A = this chain, B = another copy of it.
Amino acid sequence: LASELVTGSAPASENFALSRLWSARSVAVVGASDRPGALGRLPIEHLLRYGYRGAIYPVRPDGASVAGLPSYQSVQACPGTPELAMIMVSASRVEAAVDDCIAAGVPTAIVCSSGFAETGPEGAALQGALAEKARAAGLRLVGPNTIGSVGVDLGLVASFSPLFSGERTELVPGGIGFVSQSGALGYGAVSLAFERGLGLGWVVNTGNEADVRALEVMTAMARMPDCEGVLGYLEVLDDVGGLRTLASSGVPVALVKAGRSTAGQRAAASHTGALATEDRVVDAALRQFGIVRADDVDDLLDMGDAFAQPRRPAGPRVAVVTTSGGSGILAADAIEAARLTLAGLGAPTIAALAEIVPAFGATANPVDVTATVMSDPTLFDRALDVIVDDDGVDAVVACFCVLTAGDVDRVVESLARVAERSGKPVLAARTGAAHLAPAAAAAMRAAGIPSYPTPARAVRALAGLWQVSRPHMVDVESDESVVPARRPPVEASEIELKSILRAAGLPVPGGRLARDASDTSRAVAEVGGSAVLKAVVPGLLHKSDVGGVEVGVTVAGAGIAYERVRALGGEVLVEEMVSGGLEVLVGMSPTPLGQVLTVGVGGVLTEAVDDVALRVLPVGRREVEAMIDETRLGRLLAGTRGSTPYDRTALVSAVLDLVGATAEWPSGFELDLNPVTVLPAGQGVRILDAAYVAPKED
């Protein structure tokens, strides 16, 4: 099967080179050794032990045999061109080995050797040179400092991980791909996947990523025709294009992105920059693209189990059926926590359940069929049938405790039947020791019923399944009506910036610079007799902190106010006074995942409330609406007790206009509109303050 797939790929494509990591029909091991325990012997032992269905070419200068196989003095001397080379020589000899691979026409090499970027600047330079050489020659290079890759179907264990030397280790084949930037943790997770019976098809540790990067390997796995899902452990995530491409594959993806705790360490000049910390951006981007962010290795593998069954929920409404009231409550709690919905069962469903469920059970969701139902399989069957047929149910979580061997067959048969018949995913929680029903896990897996040790874990896995199944936005239609804004100069003053925004059709209050005290009086009169005076001082971002803003200035008070603001050393801007609105922050800032849009609670409460939604750009209207609803703005705009609703429509339009207007600006800038005041419905919004920080390279 695997060979057919290999043949099916286009050899010249990018995918071809990457898929060699698991589909190569021949492997050279450069730096092979015959000494037992030597790193250069382990992959050869592993290839032999797991029955690799391809050619193994040990490469060593003396041509001596390795583990009983003949060896070759160079890659070029091998009897055929290896489709994959493992380079296991010391760092100083890696370059020569890469040259050898290039000369031989090898498409893909895994550099296992350490001694590169992980050791310091010198190693990093060596690594950079290596990558450049490989790129120039069209060789795809994995690593250095990697433990290697595995193609399970072919028995291609191109890895020296001690996992594969474990006496009882067996490869468990399946349709899930796994990519890790960490070697040891990655293969630890692989061992846990195999232990729980989660079959993997393709495993790659990308190491230092001199050339080949995790996201592109995940995308290549996702393109394998029998791929059911891809899991990843990442420490660095800085390629929004790669993420978009991966998400576009349509294959379910879950990631652990480690390094949350670096969040907040980023220095930033503006509100927007401070709020769009790296970890929040990762959260937002993954959610935006329909990728599950798992918190831990357990959760990641739990997602793999959910991906490996074929059914997908059409919505978030979950029915819980349980033989124990306690499990039902835990499941309901988890459903709320995971932002799924406890399905409201229809009256006919509840009536039908009342005929089936014992009097001391529960016919409302969670449906408690009680332990007595276990003894009567027809009752359990009938209850499940009724529940799954309710149009208000998108998925079923079935909870059991202390399920013993005698009950398992019946339960599995019932669950499998309703899942198959309804096409709705059915997940099980089995809170009890494995030895009570040793065959249960495998039977459930075989029947396409993922099972978990607790109700909460089953529910979280289902929530992930809904996240990858729900409509999400990878590409955004461009809006033709957008007016592009001129790019601000590096030291753009507030007034320059506002004039640029006004020209692009954005709602900026009326106003102008005042020349002196008496001109200020005239300017106040021009904007209606009540004005805000603002210091315009280059580089002064938070002018209200230093007395640079005077509000409610009347014609009479204009002169004194002018002198006070003028004392800060800059010019004085007179603007129409706008009050009675809700203060919102709208901003854009550069992040490792590109320009990010921030919308949230603004004004003086910005930092204290610290409630913003983020999206990587571009975004469409639906995303902006979702951003508002994700934060307290949703409730605040609707009007808290005793206040009228605010002009949400105008806010959404202004944000979309801003996104369109700045779409062509080179990335790297910060734009901080705070506050944008949202007036009562029908009265629009006004950008009261605006600050801009040019990209660093400007």
Contacts and interface: CB of A to CB of B under 8 A. Distances in A.
Interface of A: 114-115, 118-120, 161-163, 165-169, 180-189, 191-192, 194-195, 233, 235, 256, 258-261, 295-298, 323-327, 329-330, 332-333, 335-337, 342, 359-360, 371, 401-402, 404, 431-436, 453-454, 456-457, 542, 544-546, 604-605, 607-610, 632, 635-636, 640-643
A168 to B, nearest CB: 4
A333 B261 contact: yes
B609 A632 contact: yes
A468 B195 CA distance: 34
Contacts of A371: 184
Nearest to A456: B296
Contact of A162 (B120, B402, B610): B402
A296 B454 contact: yes
A325 B401 contact: no
A642 B545 contact: yes
Contact of A329 (B115, B258, B296, B337): B258
Given A360-B119, A402-B163, A181 B435 contact: no
A404 B330 contact: no
Among A165, A181, A233, A329, chain B packs the most CB atoms within 10 A around the CB of A329
27 contacts: A166-B404, A166-B436, A167-B435, A169-B435, A182-B324, A182-B326, A183-B324, A184-B323, A184-B324, A184-B326, A184-B327, A185-B324, A185-B327, A185-B431, A192-B453, A258-B326, A259-B329, A259-B333, A261-B335, A295-B456, A296-B330, A296-B456, A297-B454, A542-B642, A545-B641, A604-B642, A605-B605
Given A184-B323, A191-B433, A546-B642, 4 more contacts: A114-B360, A184-B401, A260-B333, A607-B641
Nearest to A359: B119
A261 B436 contact: no
Contacts of A546: 642
Contacts of A642: 542, 544-546, 604
A116 B436 CA distance: 30
B169 A431 contact: no
A432 B191 contact: yes
> 8 smallest A-B Cβ distances: which pairs?
A182-B326, A188-B401, A185-B326, A545-B642, A184-B324, A188-B431, A191-B433, A195-B433
A323 B168 CA distance: 23
Nearest to A611: B609
A435 B195 CA distance: 8
Contacts of A195: 433-435
Nearest to A118: B360
A433 B641 contact: no
A78 B518 CA distance: 108
Contacts of A607: 635, 640-641
Nearest to A165: B404
A432 B192 contact: yes
Given A191-B432, A640-B607, A453 B258 contact: no
B163 A297 contact: no
Nearest to A195: B433
B191 A337 contact: no
Nearest to A549: B642
A47 to B, nearest CB: 19
A254 B607 CA distance: 35
Contacts of A165: 404
A115 B372 CA distance: 13
Contact of A297 (B167, B332, B453, B635): B453
A418 to B, nearest CB: 22
A166 B183 CA distance: 40
Contacts of A184: 323-324, 326-327, 371, 401-402
Contact of A640 (B295, B342, B604): B604
A188 B402 contact: yes
Among A187, A189, A432, chain B packs the most CB atoms within 10 A around the CB of A432
A427 to B, nearest CB: 15
